[in-house]
Amino acid sequence: MATPNLDYLPRLPRFDYLAPKTIKEACSLLSKYKGITKVIAGGTDLLVSMKQKKINPHYVVNIKGIPELDYIHYSQESGLKIGALATLQSIASSPIIRDKFGLLATACNKIGIPQVRNMGTIGGNICNGGPSQDSIPSLLVLNAQLKLVSLQATRIVPINKFFIGPFQTALSKVELLTEIEIPTPPPRSDGCYQWFTKITEVDETLVGVAVLMTLDSTGSVCKDIKIGLCSVAPTPIRAKQAEQILQGQKMGSKTIEQAARVADEETRPRSRADYRRQMTSVLVKRAVNEVWQKIKQTIV
């Protein structure tokens, strides 16, 4: 039998593989080999980039063997704490996240196919820094904070300050993302995630919209609202001008229409600009209406 020709298959570049067992050991390796390492957890993003020759690290630090980074904890007082190694599937199927942070569960369940969700981690999805990462709009509106650890210090960075450019983040070369912290939303709050997919070999999100809203006791006035967008600007963003249209106002179709129009004006799409803006307006209107109705149904 003839030997098959596999030369067409993309190959990984050569690298040294390191497998720390603790956070301190991982940070030590990042410090020792500063600037020539990449961290891998699920590998669903990193390995693809390496095969495509977009990056070529000398060392790959696999943190998958650090058990203290894989958890989902919740309390009413301290909120939700997610370890960076929690898989997208574990978040999507977590009862507490589905109940109290449903928009995040929806977003994580949307990412990739089951195999990707079972391998990919929330930390990797965040640190990829891509403009179209589906988990980010929900984390933006949920006021998530990121715990970044190095040998020298630990710092907490609000997620709205983490993304500084396409595939660029505030994570330094010697830091490791260890935890995502999310406060408990106030009473009479709910949210949702809406998206429109560009059909490609990876089914990239063309537009993603997350909404988190809080109503007053009558269910008619918007006490607070946050609108997060992805894939419509160089980084994930909040549609703050659209939020201001609804903040403190009585809910109604005209106000929602106005907010949706303003949201599309806040976008800065990289391509297919007119279509992305149009879909932003459609999805913002749809998401705000959905959340408004959901909260109203819970108010007696």
Query: Per-residue pLDDT tens for 167-197?
Result: 999 999 999 999 999 999 999 999 999 999 8
Sign of CA dihedral 212, 217, 220, 224: negative
Average pLDDT rounded to a whole number, residues 155-162:
98
Residue with token string 């050569």: 14
94 DSSP assignment: -
Residue in 260, 251, 105, 281 with CA at minimum distance from that of residue 191: 105
User: Residue 199 has what pLDDT?
Assistant: 63
Here the tokens at position 293 are 């109705």
Return the percentage of the chain with pLDDT > 70, whole number. Answer: 95
Domains of the chain: 16-62 (3.30.43.10), 67-182 (3.30.465.10), 189-298 (3.30.390.50)
Burial profile 14-33: b = 16 or more Cβ within 10 angstroms, e = fewer: eeeebebeebebbbebbeeb
Query: How large is the average pLDDT for residues 240-259?
Result: 97
pLDDT-derived band at 202 (thresholds 50, 70, 90) equals: low
How far apart (Å, rounded) are the C-alpha atoms in residues 288 and 1? 61
Question: What's the whole-model pTM score?
Answer: 0.92
Other CB atoms within a 10 A radius of the CB of residue 297 amount to: 10
Using only C-alpha atoms, what is the Rg of the chain? 20
The per-residue pLDDT for 56 is 86
Whether residue 247 is predicted with pLDDT greater than 90 in this model: the reply is: yes
pLDDT of 200 higher than 60: no
Burial of 279: CB neighbours in 10 Å, binned 0-12, 13-18, 19+: buried
> What's the mean pLDDT in 19-23?
97
For the residues 251-280, what does the mean pLDDT come to?
Answer: 96
129/34 Cα distance (integer angstroms): 19
Span 52-108, pLDDT tens digits: 888 888 899 999 999 999 999 999 999 999 999 999 999 999 999 999 999 999 999
Confidence of residue 208 (pLDDT cuts 50, 70, 90): very high
Instruction: Output phi, psi for 297, to 5 deg.
Output: -70, -20
